């Protein structure tokens, strides 16, 4: 699992949000980067897709930390069965015992409750996130216990589908760039940043194809 990177480990566009036009992004990447041209042809027909609502996406990310996909799904299914809907208003009143009965550790129970409290109290603003810049969204997310920079970056890419996020703290990105651009030689974050300069303003898409070079099966958060 990727470490929790520092704020400086992520490169995000400083401009306002722009829509993710996958075809336009792929055309740019194929035009500016020969490795991307090959990866896009190899993985034609697959693309990033967003699903779920923001609260559930973040709750699932907390539940899934440091456990297998199968185990995380089991916990999620139990949580879904314990409440009418996995939503802030239904989770703020659950105590630790009820959350642990679903399979959450004491630590994760606290994280999920903090997430529910912040959503329920209006301390975060999901209804505004579509219009907010990446840095402002990440700043809100990082106030929630259990959410680090890596989770915030994955949320920006997979849920909000922001086109120009480069998660330099993601070990998969580092490994993929090493294998596809440097013949497996170790690379630094600075070298990854230099490689990805050609991907801008579609660095999320470039990152997604680097992940596909390691695992052809797309992941949805």
Evaluate whether residue 5 is within a structural domain: no
Residues 62 and 155 in one domain: yes
Q: Which of 50-59, 94-103, 197-206 has the highest mean pLDDT?
A: 197-206
For the chain, the average pLDDT equals: 88
Residues 58 and 153 in one domain: yes
Evaluate whether residue 205 is within a structural domain: yes
Residues 171 and 98 in one domain: no
Residues 89 and 36 in one domain: no
CATH number of the domain within which 138 lies: 1.10.340.30
Q: Which has more confidence, 207 or 9?
A: 207
Residues 82 and 107 in one domain: yes
Evaluate whether residue 122 is within a structural domain: yes
Tokens coding 71: 């185990």
Domain range for residue 25? 18-43+163-214
Its pTM stands at: 0.80
H/E stretch holding 48: none
Orientation angle between helical segments 54-63 and 69-82, nearest 10 degrees: 130
Evaluate whether residue 49 is within a structural domain: no
Residues 80 and 35 in one domain: no
How many structural domains does the chain have?
A: 2
The phi, psi pair for 178, rounded to 5°, reads -55, -45
Q: What is the pLDDT of residues 182-200, one digit of tens each?
A: 999 999 999 999 999 999 9
Evaluate whether residue 67 is within a structural domain: yes
Residues 125 and 66 in one domain: yes
Evaluate whether residue 171 is within a structural domain: yes
Tokens coding 167: 């998660």
CB atoms near residue 184 (< 10 Å): 10
Per-residue confidence (pLDDT) for residue 75, from 0 to 100: 95
Q: Are 78 and 71 in contact (CB under 8 A)?
A: no
- Determine whether 83 is exposed, middle or buried from the number of CB atoms within 10 Å of its CB (0-12, 13-18, 19+): middle
Residues 72 and 121 in one domain: yes
Evaluate whether residue 2 is within a structural domain: no
Give the pLDDT band of residue 67 (cuts 50, 70, 90): confident
Residues 94 and 167 in one domain: no
CATH number of the domain within which 209 lies: 1.10.1670.40
């Amino acid at each position: 699992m990727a470490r929790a990177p520092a704020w400086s480990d992520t490169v995000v566009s400083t401009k306002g949000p722009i829509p993710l036009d996958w075809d336009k992004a792929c055309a740019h990447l194929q035009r500016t980067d020969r490795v991307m041209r090959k990866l896009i042809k190899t993985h034609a027909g697959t693309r990033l897709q967003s699903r779920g609502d923001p609260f559930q996406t973040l709750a699932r990310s907390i539940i899934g930390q440091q456990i297998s996909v199968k185990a995380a799904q089991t916990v999620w299914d139990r949580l879904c069965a314990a409440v009418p809907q996995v939503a802030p208003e239904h989770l703020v009143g659950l105590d630790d015992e009820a959350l642990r009965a679903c399979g959450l550790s004491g630590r994760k129970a606290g994280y999920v409750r903090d997430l529910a409290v912040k959503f329920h109290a209006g301390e975060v603003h999901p209804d505004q996130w579509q219009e907010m810049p990446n840095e402002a969204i990440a700043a809100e997310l990082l106030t929630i216990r259990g959410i680090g920079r890596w989770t915030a970056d994955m949320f920006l890419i997979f849920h909000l589908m922001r086109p120009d996020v480069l998660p330099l703290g993601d070990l998969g990105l580092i490994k993929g760039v090493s294998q596809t651009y440097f013949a497996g030689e170790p690379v630094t974050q600075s070298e990854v940043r230099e490689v990805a300069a050609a991907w801008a303003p579609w660095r999320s898409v470039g990152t997604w194809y680097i992940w596909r070079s390691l695992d052809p099966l797309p992941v949805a958060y």
